[in-house]
Structure 1
Amino acid sequence: MKIMMLSDYQLPVIACFLLFFAMIMYWISLSMPKNNLIFQISKSLVILSNLIFALTLLMRWIGENYFPLSNLYESLIFLSWGLSTIHLFIEFQTKSRLIGSIATPIMFFLSGFSSLTLPTDMQKALPLVPSLQSNWLMMHVTMMMISYATLIVGSLLSILYLFFIIFNSNASKNESVVIENNRNESIISKVNYSKLSLLETVDIWSYRIIGLGFPFLTIGIISGAVWANEAWGSYWSWDPKETWALITWLVFAIYLHSRLLKGWQGKKAAILGSCGFFVIWICYLGVNFLGKGLHSYGWVF
């Protein structure tokens, strides 16, 4: 048992270092697009870290006899696993190394924060308090963490879209100079078509991923309300965590509403999606650090 618990704490540290090297390799692969070996190595490192996170959660589940989502440490490990899974799925579909270059820094930060920064006492598995001894624990928290992982990736793509827009606006002047000097408009049109195709791909995948994560967030909030009524006798108490979960839901609901009914695409939609990225982090970590409430398991200050 002691060996199992020791491995429990050490495995995420190994995953953290793997993600660090994966992040570096992804960045190098961007500068060497024709070198597929570096890209495959970076992907393999993420796959290995994903398996390590899954193994860590499984060992906790078996060792402690409850689903490992009862404290901040366990939720960070689960979120790291969720992010790596979503990232690998999108990468498999798009064959693009851009996803890994923006997702691995987030995963590296989460794994490092959970395994190297959190106090040892907060990493320990403790007996569940009465309010957490419910079948709703797995339903509610799993849905919320999966929604966080999915929406973070989707909103990261929105941020990437805005970055491309800014980069292209700065590069447009240089392209006009090339046109004047070379008079070779066919080459420039191909470059512009390539950029347009990349922007459209990023925009579409951001929309698809956010659309996938939103139902998980909705189910998570509804199941949390039912669980709250069972545990505390009230469906909604305007706890800081509940309030920010509602704000997060509204931000992404507005994003989807704007795309579906208003026809927003591109820059306007990307701005909304980017706002969602910061709202998620406030809901997930900021509330726990800045204020206490019924969802206070993550309080460290």
Structure 2
Amino acid sequence: MTWDHFIFFAIPSVLLWTVASAWALRRPKKTLPTLFTVLGQGVFFSFILGMWISLERPPLRTMGETRLWYSFFLPVAGLITYQRWGYKWILSFSTILSAVFIVVNIAKPDIHNKVLMPALQSPWFAPHVIIYMFSYAILGAVTLVALYYLFREEKLQDKERIMDMTDNLVYVGIAFVTMGMLMGAIWAKEAWGHYWSWDPKETWAAATWLGYLVYIHYRLLKTSKNKTSMTILLLAFMLLQVCWYGVNYLPSARGRSVHTYSVR
């Protein structure tokens, strides 16, 4: 399996997710949307598995490879939200966002090879990155909910139900972020001899974690406002974007950070 085969898996996956989204919008039953979403996940994961086998390592090293996992987990997050809270539009939003990352990967693929630097040959490498990508997908879904709320606030009839859904998704997302950070700390101790060094990537990871904690604590206030809460989520997601890939372009990270993604 090579990167050239990606388009032959990506297009069928997006089509299956699109059918699932369209069906969810038109019919109240969840069976077929769930089935088509799962089929799309199966097709997409078969490419990830094929890349894993051909590379002889988990495809998690380059930015393009992490986008691959993000594209995979977004429909998972959308399906969880759809199944649990029944919002028909969430599958459409998660499909569109996933498709955007797929198009980016098709248009600008990274160089993929079998080489892993010694630090990445740790058993903590794969679970750390996979857990982070899943948490990013959950928090990406929350961001879609926040945007939906802010644009349609005046027309919404079930605001408290949406806020309840948002709270629960943030709890799940921050739990996985915390797990990812802990695994990363153990990995850093094994690879470099210390749990935390305030590397630019670690600093922005901490900022992202604190951003979502601000949301959680603000929501606990009796005087909290829904619109302000959703705005905090958007700001926290901006921190997440810097943590994920924005840090690669910061002057403080160039040539210094051990976490910047390499495409060679």
Distance in 2 between residues matched to 1:263 and 1:132, nearest whole Å: 46
For the structure 1 residues 46 and 117, does the alpha-carbon distance in structure 2 shift closer, same or farther, using more than 3 Å as the test? Answer: farther
Is 1:161 paired with 2:153? no
Give the secondary structure class of the aligned counterpart of 2:245: helix
Corresponding residue of 2:122: 134
Is 1:296 paired with 2:260? yes
* Matching residue within 226, 229, 237 for 1:269: 229
Higher share of residues assigned helix: 1
For the structure 1 residues 112 and 43, does the alpha-carbon distance in structure 2 shift closer, same or farther, using more than 3 Å as the test? Answer: farther
Corresponding residue of 1:118: 109
* Matching residue within 191, 202, 207 for 2:162: 202
Is 1:19 paired with 2:10? no
Corresponding residue of 1:144: 132
Distance in 2 between residues matched to 1:95 and 1:215, nearest whole Å: 23
Distance in 2 between residues matched to 1:164 and 1:130, nearest whole Å: 50
Deviations 1:104-135 (A, max 9, x none): 2210111111233224xx2x232211111111
CA contact (8 A) 1:151 1:277 kept: yes
Q: Could you tell me how far 1:42 is from its partner in structure 2?
A: 7.0
Q: Could you tell me how far 1:83 is from its partner in structure 2?
A: 1.0
Q: Could you tell me how far 1:41 is from its partner in structure 2?
A: 7.7
Deviations 1:132-160 (A, max 9, x none): 11111023212211111111111221121
Q: Could you tell me how far 1:43 is from its partner in structure 2?
A: 6.4
Tell me the TM-score normalised to structure 1 length: 0.75
CA contact (8 A) 1:150 1:213 kept: yes
Deviations 1:228-280 (A, max 9, x none): 12212232222221111111001001111112355635212111112122222
Alignment of 1:148-297 (within 5 A): 148-165=136-153, 168=154, 195-197=156-158, 199-262=159-222, 264=224, 266-290=226-250, 291-292=253-254, 293-297=257-261
Structure 1 unaligned spans of 5+: 172-194
Distance in 1 between residues matched to 2:119 and 2:129, nearest whole Å: 13
Say what the alpha-carbon RMSD is for the aligned residues. Answer: 2.9
Distance in 2 between residues matched to 1:258 and 1:141, nearest whole Å: 29
**Could you tell me which amino acid in structure 1 is paired with residue 40 of structure 2?**
S
CA contact (8 A) 1:91 1:100 kept: yes
For the structure 1 residues 21 and 51, does the alpha-carbon distance in structure 2 shift closer, same or farther, using more than 3 Å as the test? Answer: closer
CA contact (8 A) 2:67 2:105 kept: yes
CA contact (8 A) 1:161 1:203 kept: no
**Could you tell me which amino acid in structure 1 is paired with residue 45 of structure 2?**
A
Equivalent pairs, count? 259
Tell me the TM-score normalised to structure 2 length: 0.84
Distance in 2 between residues matched to 1:257 and 1:15, nearest whole Å: 39
* Matching residue within 44, 54, 69 for 2:60: 69
Alignment of 1:74-85 (within 5 A): 74-85=65-76
Q: Which has the larger radius of gyration?
A: 1
Deviations 1:17-70 (A, max 9, x none): 6537855995x779xx6x439x98876654443222211222223333333222
CA contact (8 A) 2:145 2:166 kept: yes
Q: Could you tell me how far 1:285 is from its partner in structure 2?
A: 1.8
For the structure 1 residues 99 and 226, does the alpha-carbon distance in structure 2 shift closer, same or farther, using more than 3 Å as the test? Answer: same
For the structure 1 residues 225 and 25, does the alpha-carbon distance in structure 2 shift closer, same or farther, using more than 3 Å as the test? Answer: closer
For the structure 1 residues 263 and 137, does the alpha-carbon distance in structure 2 shift closer, same or farther, using more than 3 Å as the test? Answer: farther
Distance in 2 between residues matched to 1:203 and 1:280, nearest whole Å: 21
For the structure 1 residues 61 and 29, does the alpha-carbon distance in structure 2 shift closer, same or farther, using more than 3 Å as the test? Answer: closer
Percent identity, aligned pairs only? 29
